[in-house]
């Protein structure tokens, strides 16, 4: 894992003010192809895009700089902290697709906006992957870890939202009437080798048999 990762190539548009440090270019757009994402802990995800008409790459676009169509309504545009609720948890990320749910219609709960419709594309997940460095982050804390599910919003923007802000509609499996999730956040770790005191070190048999012993610790 690295703090920069390739993502599926997505044709989109960049709000032009983001290549001018928000000083000019408002209301204009640049054709682009998304090619990568960068994760710096404590900061918003940064996307890299190839800008074909310039033959250039630009690697510091927040998700609020991206739109998938140009005919947007400015009053419907969401702020960065609505499109992406959380800053990056780690310098180590992995990109993957929930293949069953790729291109599924989703509903997302947006702060100060309510429910919006969208389409899921891929997921950005994070972990502390270097056992030789002290883990001072929360990417592996059950109550804090979040995925960034990336996709398109109906207002022309993109989103990066955690599982607990979304509902998914897989056509062949989702019933007409859904139950309301009443889940609690996972607050514990699960282990296979700590719950019971089974000992295997006294045997070199290939088909070894475990024996439960009294806890002596």
pLDDT for the residue 99: 94
Contact 97, 122 (CB under 8 A): yes
pTM of the model: 0.89
Domain ranges across the chain: 4-212
CA–CA dist 69, 63 (Å, integer): 14
CA-based nearest residue to 68, from 140, 142, 153: 153
Q: What is the pLDDT of residue 195?
A: 62
Q: What would the pLDDT profile of 132-169 be if each residue is shown by its tens digit?
A: 777 777 777 777 788 999 999 999 999 999 999 999 99
pLDDT digits (tens, 9 = 90+) for 165-189: 999 999 999 999 999 989 988 888 8
Tens-place pLDDT, residues 108-135 = 999 999 999 999 999 999 887 777 777 7
Q: Which of 113, 118, 138, 120 is nearest to 128 (CA)?
A: 138
Question: Among 11-25, 146-160, 192-206, where is mean pLDDT lowest?
Answer: 192-206
Q: What is the pLDDT of residue 129?
A: 73
What are the tens digits of pLDDT across the range 61-104? 999 999 999 999 999 999 999 999 999 988 889 999 999 999 99
Q: What is the DSSP letter of 157?
A: B
For the sheet containing 66-67, what is the strand order? 56-61, 46-51, 29-38, 4-15, 66-67
17 to each of 8, 11, 28, 31, how far by Cα in Å?
24, 18, 8, 13
On the 0-12 / 13-18 / 19+ scale of CB atoms within 10 A, 122 is middle
pLDDT band at 217 (very low <50, low <70, confident <90, very high): low
Share of the chain above pLDDT 70, in %: 96
137: left (phi over 0), alpha (psi -120 to 50) or beta: beta
């Amino acid at each position: 894992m690295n703090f920069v990762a390739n993502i599926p190539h997505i044709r989109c548009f960049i709000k032009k003010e983001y290549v001018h440090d928000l000083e000019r270019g408002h209301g204009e757009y640049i054709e682009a192809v998304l090619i990568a994402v960068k994760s710096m802990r404590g900061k918003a995800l940064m996307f890299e895009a190839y800008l074909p008409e310039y033959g250039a790459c630009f690697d510091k676009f927040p998700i609020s700089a991206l739109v998938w169509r140009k005919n947007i309504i400015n009053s419907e545009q969401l702020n960065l902290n609505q499109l992406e609720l959380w800053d990056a948890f780690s310098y180590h990320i992995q990109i993957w697709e929930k293949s069953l749910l790729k291109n599924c219609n989703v509903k997302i709960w947006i702060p100060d906006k309510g429910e919006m419709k969208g389409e899921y594309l891929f997921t950005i997940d994070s972990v502390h992957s270097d056992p030789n460095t002290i883990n001072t982050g929360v990417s592996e804390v059950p109550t804090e870890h979040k995925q960034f599910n990336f996709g398109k919003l109906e207002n022309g923007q993109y989103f990066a939202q955690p599982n607990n802000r979304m509902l998914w509609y897989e056509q062949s499996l989702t019933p007409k009437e859904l139950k309301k999730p009443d889940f609690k956040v996972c607050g514990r770790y699960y282990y296979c080798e700590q719950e019971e005191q089974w000992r295997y070190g006294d045997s070199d048999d290939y088909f070894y048999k475990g024996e439960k012993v009294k806890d002596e610790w």
